[in-house]
Amino acid sequence: MVQGEARIEGVCHCGEVRWSFAGTPESATACNCTVCRRYGVLWAYDYEHGRIEVSGTTSVYAWQDQWLGFHFCPRCGCVTYWRQREPGKDGRRRIAVNVRLAEPEAVAALPLVRHDGLGNHDDLPPDGRHVADVWF
């Protein structure tokens, strides 16, 4: 990372699991799939060892043959990130961090993308909302 470049950081409630995102994500995604809607998370995407770094010991929830695992702190239970279970064809693993674990002012202006993970797996048309609009 270049000195002075923006960095967003997130941490679980007890402080055991942390993530950092170098630069500013393009957006934060709210997904309505069966897992994400229960977790109430907002995701920022990149690749493991790319702009996202994670630290701390996590437990993982993955069901059946799903392509990703949800990582959470075994102490306080906060969902911190998801990661592809296997690298993609390009050898990289997709990863997304839960921006709700960042300080609100660090992510408030990120445009909100709504993803229909329950239906057709398409992004819904933009409606002008940002993360700050869905904090409560």
Give the helix ranges, DSSP H, for the chain. Answer: 36-39, 104-107
Helices (H) and strands (E) in the chain, counts: 2, 10
- Which residues neighbour 74 within 8 Å (Cβ) at sequence distance 6 or greater? 57, 58, 59
Cα separation, 84 vs 52, whole angstroms: 13
Under 8 Å between Cβ of 74 and 57 = yes
Cα separation, 109 vs 123, whole angstroms: 19
- What pLDDT digit, counting tens, does each position of 96-113 carry? 999 999 999 999 999 999
Domains and CATH numbers, the chain: 7-134 (2.170.150.70)
Mean pLDDT value across residues 115-122: 87
pTM of the model: 0.91
Return phi, psi of residue 22, to 5°: -75, 125
Q: Is the pLDDT of residue 11 over 80?
A: yes
Identify the band that residue 4 occupies on the pLDDT scale cut at 50, 70 and 90.
low
Cα separation, 85 vs 70, whole angstroms: 10
| 39 token code pair | 């977790």
Model pLDDT, residue 121: 85
> What is the SS3 assignment for 38?
helix
- What pLDDT digit, counting tens, does each position of 54-76 carry? 999 999 999 877 778 999 999 99
Q: Tell how strand 79-84 and strand 68-72 pair up.
A: antiparallel
